[in-house]
Amino acid sequence: MDGNNECSNKTETEPKHFEKEIEDGMNRRTIKCKYCQSVILTPGSGDYFERDFQLPLMKQKKEACPETECVSSFWVVKDMFTFQNVGFSNTVGTTKYLTCADCEAGPIGYHDLNTRISYVALNRVSHTN
């Protein structure tokens, strides 16, 4: 990990159909783990926010050098105890990666230790009623 999470070469893989998930700037529906359906955030608890971040892929081919993708749509959570269920990884630089609390799938986003703000990637979680 070089700690540089800027996106230089954008290989955007995110679908752009998130508009319907946003209500008053926040998540309209419940946010769950894509794999085990553990509830991560209840409706109206994350602010929609766009920023580019190189997030390591959930499925890695080799352990040598983690592959990343540029993610730019996030739910911002300012108080970590807003989460219903979530895991925080050990620290890498100034970042902690977020995982599902139950099946530990991840990273589903990251936590910035400087600002104490958490970012949940929209394309790494499922949105359900």
- Binding region for other proteins (CB under 8 A): 35-36, 38, 42, 45, 56-60, 63, 66, 78-92, 96-97, 99, 101-107, 111, 113, 116
Query: 51 vs 115, which CB is nearer to other proteins?
Result: 115
Q: Is the dihedral of CA 71, 77, 80, 83 positive or negative?
A: negative
Dig out the tokens for 83 from the structure: 């989460």
Question: Could you identify the residue written with the tokens 């730019």?
Answer: 72
User: Minimum distance between the CB of residue 10 and other proteins, rounded to whole angstroms?
Assistant: 21
29 touches 65 (CB < 8 A) = no
Query: 2 vs 19, which CB is nearer to other proteins?
Result: 2
User: Minimum distance between the CB of residue 16 and other proteins, rounded to whole angstroms?
Assistant: 25
58 touches 107 (CB < 8 A) = yes
Query: 10 vs 78, which CB is nearer to other proteins?
Result: 78
User: Minimum distance between the CB of residue 66 and other proteins, rounded to whole angstroms?
Assistant: 5
Query: 34 vs 127, which CB is nearer to other proteins?
Result: 34
Task: List Cβ neighbours of 65 (8 Å cut-off, separation of 6 or more).
Answer: none
User: Minimum distance between the CB of residue 35 and other proteins, rounded to whole angstroms?
Assistant: 5
- How far apart, in whole angstroms, are the C-alpha atoms of residue 61 and residue 34? 20
Question: Could you identify the residue written with the tokens 């105890």?
Answer: 81
